[in-house]
Amino acid sequence: MTAMHAPTAAPDAPAPVLDKRETVRIPLEIGNASKVDARDVKVFYGAKQAIYDLTIGIPEKAVTAFIGPSGCGKSTFLRCLNRMNDTIDGARVEGDITIDGKDIYDADLDVVTLRARVGMVFQKPNPFPKSIFENVAYGPRIHGLAKSKAELAVIVEAALRKAGLWDEVKDRLLETGTGLSGGQQQRLCIARAIAVSPEVILMDEPCSALDPIATARIEELIDELRQNYTIVIVTHSMQQAARVSQKTCFFHLGYLVEEGPTDQIFTNPRDKRTQDYITGRFG
Amino acid sequence: MTDIAQRGASPVDWTSSAADGRRRRRRAAETRLRYYGLAAIAVALGLLAILVGSLVLNGYRAFTQTQIALDVYVDPAEIDVEDPSRGDYRGLVAASIASVLPGADDAELRAARDIVTRNVHFILRDHVVRDPSVIGETIRIQIPASDPFDQLAKGIIDRDLPESRRRVNDQGIAIYDQFAEQGRVEQRFNAALFFNADSRFPELAGLSGAVVGSFFALVVCFVLSFPIGIAAAVYLEEFAPKNKWTDIVEVNINNLAAVPSIVFGLLGLAIFLGWFGMPRSAPLVGGMVLALMTLPTMIIVTRAALKAVPPSIREAALGVGASKHEVVMHHVLPLALPGILTGTIIGLAQALGETAPLLLIGMNAFITSPPGGLLEPATALPTQIFIWADSPERGFVARTSAGILVLLGFLILMNLIAIFLRNRLERKW
C-alpha cells in the first residue's frame, strides 16, 4: 500500500501520477461494440465499500482481462455481472450495469435467466459430483433447452466439443466428473457454462489451480471461444492477461485505474500504479 | 547446523545436561498423557464389559424356558366340536396330569397342576383351534413350567434349603422329579420371549407387544420428525434471513435439544392427551412425543450436513442459472442426505431408548396383546423393561436383563445401519 505512494520514479518513461479517482482510458482499436456497460458502480459489503464509482465497457466477442492485486475488487465486480453477489449477505450494488442496454439490476429482471445468459467459471474446478454427461446436461435441462433426450445429447456433445473435452471423455460420459484431472474438470466446467448458450462468460481466475500444461490448454480454449462469446477473465497472472486478452483493466483498491488495449497496458502504462504493478513492484 | 544455532542471542548447547533434562521431561509428559488416555479408555471399556457381562449373566437364563410335555386326550365330549374355542380345556389338562400320576390324591394333583403355567388351558385351546383335526386324539404338547419350577429347574431355587425358605415345597419337588423321570421336563429356547406379549406370569411374558409398540412409535416419530426436521433445517440454513429472529429460533432449537425428555412427556400429556383427547398408551401419541424430542436433534444434524456441502457446489449450480430452490433440491439436499440419514437413525435410536416421556403418556400399562394399530394401547421396549424391573416375580429378573439385551441389540443394529449408510453413501470432493 505504501509502495503505491512512494515517489520512486521508474527509470524509464515515468508515468504521470493521476488522481486516484480518475481512470486512464485508452480507446480500443479492435472496435468491437460494447456488450456490457457499467456506470458509476459502487459495491458495498455491509459498511465497507469494495468498489468506487466504476465505469467500464466490455467489448463484445473479445477477451477482457481484469488484473490487480488481491482485494482490489476485480472479482467483486466480476460477480456483479451475473449478480452472484446477491447471494452474499450484506452485499449492495449501486449504479447501472447493462447488458445490451438492459439494466441487469432491474426489479423485473429474472436472475435465473441472467445467469444463463452470463455463464461463470470459477477459480477451483467445481463439477457436480455427478456423471460427466449430467454435469453438462444440467443447465439445458433446468432451462428447458432440449425437447428430447436426443436433443439434450446433441447439446451436451456440442458443448463438450467446444470445450475441447469431447475426445477425452466421449467413452466415459457416465463416469463421475470429479474423477477427471484438474484441467479436464475446469474444461468440463467451461462446457457446463457453454451448454446453456450464454452470451457472456465470466472466468474467475480459471487457471489458478492448474498446472502450466492444463493452463495452456485453457488459454487456447479461451482464444477459440472468443469467436462466439464475450469473455471476462480475472487473473493474477500478468502473462496470462497479456496472452489471452484484447482489453485489460487494472484495478487497485476498489478503483479502476487504467483500461485499454492489452498491448498498450503492458508496454506503455500511463498510470504509475499500473506500471508499478505490471513491473512487479507491488502486489 | 551450528551456524543456525548461533544466530540467536547466545549460542544454544543442545547437548548440555539441562537440555537433556528438558527433553526427558517433555518426553515423560507425553508418555504420561498417553497413559492417562489409555487408562481412561480401559476404565470405560471395563465398565462397559461389567454392564454387558452382568446383563448377560442375569439375562441368559431368560432365553431358555423349562417346558413340561403333557399327553392330552382331546376328548370330543368335553369340547365344542363345531367351535373348538369353547370347551373344558382346564378339565382336559387335569385329566392328563391325573393320568400320569396314578394314585395321587387331590392335594398332590393340585400341586402337580401348579408345576405347569396357570394359563395352560389357553395354550391347549389355541393349539386345538389352530388344528381341529386333533379332536379325539391324544396329543403331546409342550407347556411352559410355572415360574417357581422354572427357577428350580435352572438351579436358582436351591433344593437344599429348608422347605420354609424356598418358593416350592417338598411335595411340588417330588412331583416335578416324577415328571423329570418320565422325561417330560426339558429346557427349550424361549420363543415366548419374542412372540408373546406381556403377561402376569413370567413364563408366558414376552416382548412382542413392546417391540410392535416401539416400532409403531418409531414409525410415527420418523414420519413426523424427518420431513419437519429437514424442512426446518433447510429453511434455516438456506433461506432464512440472518437477523435477530432467526438467531432466537436457532438458540431455542439448540436449547430444546438439551431439555430433559420427561418435560416433553409432560407436554405430550397436557397437549395430546389433555387438550386433543387422544387415547392413552397409544403408540401414535408416544411417537408424537418422541418426535417432539427428536426434532431439535434432527434439525441440528441436518443443518450440520447442509453446512458440510461445499459452497463451490452451490456456486456452480447458481452459475448455470439454477434457482435457489433448484440448488437446494438438486444439489445440496442430495449431497447432504447421507449425513441426514445417519443423523436420523441415531436420533431414532435415541428415541427408541427413551422411557420417561412414554411413562407419562401411559405406555407403561399392562397390555397382554400386541397393538393392532396406532391407536391401540401398547408398551414400548424401554417401558416394558421398566414394568418387568418393577415386578416381584423372580422370573422377571432374568427377563428384565433379557429385555435390555434385546433393546441393546436393536440399538446396535440401528447404529450399524447408520455406519453402513455413511460409508456407503459418503461422497468425497
How do residues B323-361 score in pLDDT, each as one tens digit?
Answer: 999 999 999 999 999 889 988 998 999 999 999 999 999
Cα distance between the two ends of chain B: 42
- Closest CB to B319 among A115, A142, A178: A115
B72, containing H or E segment: strand B64-73
CA dist B380 and B218 (Å) reads 10
B315 interfaces chain A, CB cutoff of 8 Å = yes
Q: What is the pLDDT of residue A9?
A: 41
Evaluate the CA torsion angle B358, B362, B366, B371 in order and state its sign.
Answer: negative
Domain match, B97 and B26 both:
no
Residue of B nearest to A180 (CA): B429
CB contact under 8 A, B320 and A138: yes
In a domain, B11, yes or no: yes
Residue-wise pLDDT for B358-400, tens only, equals: 999 999 889 888 898 899 999 999 999 999 999 988 889 999 9
Q: What is the pLDDT of residue A246?
A: 93
In a 3-state reduction of DSSP, which class is residue B426?
Answer: coil
A139 interfaces chain B, CB cutoff of 8 Å = yes
- Closest CB to B319 among A120, A143, A178: A120
CB contact under 8 A, A87 and B313: no
Domain match, B27 and B159 both:
no
Which residues of chain B have a CB within 8 Å of the CB of A208?
Answer: none
In a domain, B297, yes or no: yes
Domain match, B26 and B154 both:
no
| DSSP code at position B146 | P
Could you tell me the CA-to-CA distances from B334 to A140, A165, B309, B328 in Å, in that order? Answer: 20, 27, 10, 8
Question: The domain containing residue B153 runs over which residues?
Answer: 63-195
- Among B168, B195, B222, the domain boundary falls at B195
ipTM of the complex model: 0.85
Q: What is the pLDDT of residue A6?
A: 41
**What is the distance in angstroms between the Cα of A89 and the nearest Cα belonging to chain B?**
8
Which residues of chain A have a CB within 8 Å of the CB of B319?
Answer: 82, 84, 115, 119-122, 193
Domain match, B298 and B320 both:
yes
Domain match, B248 and B351 both:
yes
- Closest CB to A142 among B313, B321, B428: B321
B79 interfaces chain A, CB cutoff of 8 Å = no
Can you tell me the mean pLDDT for B110-118? 89
Residue-wise pLDDT for A46-88, tens only, equals: 889 999 888 999 999 999 999 999 888 899 999 999 998 888 8
Confidence band of A234 (pLDDT split at 50, 70, 90): very high
Which residues of chain B have a CB within 8 Å of the CB of A119?
Answer: 319-320
A142 interfaces chain B, CB cutoff of 8 Å = yes
Q: How many domains does chain B have?
A: 3
- Among B18, B37, B60, the domain boundary falls at B60
CA dist B373 and B190 (Å) reads 26
A208 interfaces chain B, CB cutoff of 8 Å = no
Average pLDDT of chain B is 90
**What is the distance in angstroms between the Cα of B336 and the nearest Cα belonging to chain A?**
12
Q: What is the pLDDT of residue B6?
A: 55
| Lowest-confidence pick of B29-43, B60-74, B156-170, B234-248 | B156-170
Please report the DSSP string for B5-54 in residue order.
HTTSSS---TTSHHHHHHHHHHHHHHHHHHHHHHHHHHHHHHHHHHHHHH
CA dist B120 and B175 (Å) reads 17
In a domain, B203, yes or no: no
A206 interfaces chain B, CB cutoff of 8 Å = no
pLDDT: which is higher, A253 or B45: B45
| DSSP code at position B353 | H
All 3 cell numbers of residue A139?
443447465
Non-local (6+) Cβ contacts of B204 within 8 A are B117, B119, B144, B192, B196
Domain match, B251 and B361 both:
yes
Which residues of chain B have a CB within 8 Å of the CB of A142?
Answer: 320-322, 326, 330
Confidence band of A32 (pLDDT split at 50, 70, 90): confident
Confidence band of B222 (pLDDT split at 50, 70, 90): very high
CB contact under 8 A, B316 and A122: yes
Average pLDDT of chain A is 87
Q: Name residue, grid cell 427408541.
A: B352
**What is the distance of C-alpha A87 from the center of its chain?**
18
Q: What is the pLDDT of residue A280?
A: 83
Residue of A nearest to B319 (CA): A120
All 3 cell numbers of residue B144?
411352559
Q: In this complex, how many residue pairs, one in chain A and one in chain B, have their CB atoms less than 8 Å apart? A: 64
- Closest CB to B326 among A82, A113, A142: A142
- Closest CB to B429 among A114, A178, A189: A178
Domain match, B24 and B71 both:
no
B402, containing H or E segment: helix B395-425
Domain match, B303 and B395 both:
yes
Q: What is the pLDDT of residue B100?
A: 87
User: Do B357 and B281 meet the contact criterion of CB atoms below 8 Å apart?
Assistant: no
A45 interfaces chain B, CB cutoff of 8 Å = no
All 3 cell numbers of residue B70?
403333557
Domain match, B309 and B228 both:
yes
The residue count for chain A: 283
Which of A80, A128, A155 has the most B C-beta neighbours within 10 Å, making it the best mutation to test the interface with B?
A: A128
User: Do B212 and B370 meet the contact criterion of CB atoms below 8 Å apart?
Assistant: yes
Confidence band of A271 (pLDDT split at 50, 70, 90): confident
Which of A83, A84, A87 has the most B C-beta neighbours within 10 Å, making it the best mutation to test the interface with B?
A: A87
Can you tell me the mean pLDDT for B106-117? 89
User: Do A192 and A139 meet the contact criterion of CB atoms below 8 Å apart?
Assistant: yes
Residue-wise pLDDT for A243-262, tens only, equals: 999 999 999 888 898 899 99
In a domain, B126, yes or no: yes
CA dist A142 and A157 (Å) reads 17
Q: In what order do the strands lie in the sheet with A102-103?
A: A48-59, A34-45, A91-99, A102-103
Three-class SS of B276-329: CCCCCCCHHHHHHHHHHHHHHHHHHHHHHHHHCCCHHHHHHHHHCCCCHHHHHH
Confidence band of B25 (pLDDT split at 50, 70, 90): very high
- Amino acid identity, residue A113? T
Which of B243, B320, B333 has the most A C-beta neighbours within 10 Å, making it the best mutation to test the interface with A?
A: B320
B232, containing H or E segment: helix B208-234
- Amino acid identity, residue B162? P
Which residues of chain B have a CB within 8 Å of the CB of A195?
Answer: 320
- Among B125, B160, B195, the domain boundary falls at B195
Q: In what order do the strands lie in the sheet with A230-234?
A: A24-25, A255-261, A247-252, A63-67, A230-234, A200-204, A118-121
In a domain, B166, yes or no: yes
A267 interfaces chain B, CB cutoff of 8 Å = no
Q: Is the pLDDT confidence value at B9 over 80?
A: no
Q: What is the pLDDT of residue A10?
A: 42
Domain match, B55 and B72 both:
no
Q: Is the pLDDT confidence value at A11 over 50?
A: no
Three-class SS of chain A: CHHHHCCCCCCCCCCCCCCCCCCEECCCCCCCCEEEEEEEEEEEECCEEEEEEEEEEEECCCEEEEECCCCCCHHHHHHHCCCHHHHCCCEEEEEEEEECCEECCCCCCCHHHHHHHEEEECCCCCCCCCEHHHHHHHHHHHCCCCCCHHHHHHHHHHHHHHCCCHHHHHHHCCCEHHHCCHHHHHHHHHHHHHCCCCCEEEEECCCCCCCHHHHHHHHHHHHHHCCCCEEEEECCCHHHHHHHCCEEEEEECCEEEEEEEHHHHHHCCCCHHHHHHHCCCCC
- Closest CB to A126 among B313, B322, B323: B313
Ramachandran region, residue A144 (left: φ > 0; alpha: ψ -120 to 50; beta: rest): left
Interface of B with A in 234-253 (CB under 8 A): 242
Domain match, B178 and B269 both:
no
**What is the distance in angstroms between the Cα of B237 and the nearest Cα belonging to chain A?**
13
In a domain, B202, yes or no: no
Confidence band of B163 (pLDDT split at 50, 70, 90): confident
Could you tell me the CA-to-CA distances from B46 to B39, B42, B114, B406 in Å, in that order? Answer: 10, 6, 43, 21
CA dist B381 and B406 (Å) reads 9
**What is the distance in angstroms between the Cα of A139 and the nearest Cα belonging to chain B?**
6
Interface of B with A in 15-54 (CB under 8 A): none
In a domain, B28, yes or no: yes
In a domain, B201, yes or no: no
Q: Is the pLDDT confidence value at A17 over 70?
A: no
Highest mean pLDDT among A209-218, B76-85, B130-139, B378-387 belongs to B378-387
Q: What is the pLDDT of residue B2?
A: 54
- Amino acid identity, residue B102? P
Domain match, B136 and B275 both:
no
With CA atoms as reference, report the closest residue to A186 among A123, A118, A228, A134: A123
Which residues of chain A have a CB within 8 Å of the CB of B312?
Answer: 122, 124, 126
Non-local (6+) Cβ contacts of B154 within 8 A are B61, B64, B66, B187
What's the pTM value of the predicted model, to 2 decimals?
0.83
Q: Is the pLDDT confidence value at B5 over 70?
A: no
- Closest CB to B319 among A119, A129, A178: A119
The residue count for chain B: 429
Q: What is the pLDDT of residue B427?
A: 62
Can you tell me the mean pLDDT for A21-34? 75
Q: What is the pLDDT of residue A4?
A: 42
A227 interfaces chain B, CB cutoff of 8 Å = no
Which residues of chain A have a CB within 8 Å of the CB of B320?
Answer: 115-116, 119, 138-139, 142, 192-193, 195-196
Non-local (6+) Cβ contacts of B333 within 8 A are B230, B234, B306
Q: What is the pLDDT of residue B46?
A: 97
